[in-house]
Amino acid sequence: MEFDTIYQEKLYTPAEIASQIGDGWSCCTDIAAAIPPGIVNALGRRAAAGHVHGVTLHTMLDLVPLDVLAPDALGR
């Protein structure tokens, strides 16, 4: 099997990764520029839509606005 084929089979979108996070999970990210905004924003959109509840996300030194910190995502 070619490397490119294997790589493509293993690729996940941020939304696909966020969809694997379940209710009540505790998630941690690295700090500052290492925070994966695509995944964190996809998680925020899921929370705002009511698709996931009670997730605790630990971040530090957020450098960009994150959807997960939006008022409609908080407290879900």
Q: What is the pLDDT of residues 1-53, one digit of tens each?
A: 799 999 999 999 999 999 999 999 999 988 888 899 999 999 999 998 999 99
The pTM of this model reads 0.81
Q: Round to whole Å and give the CA distance between 73 and 69.
A: 6
CA dihedral 57, 61, 65, 69 (to 10 degrees): 30
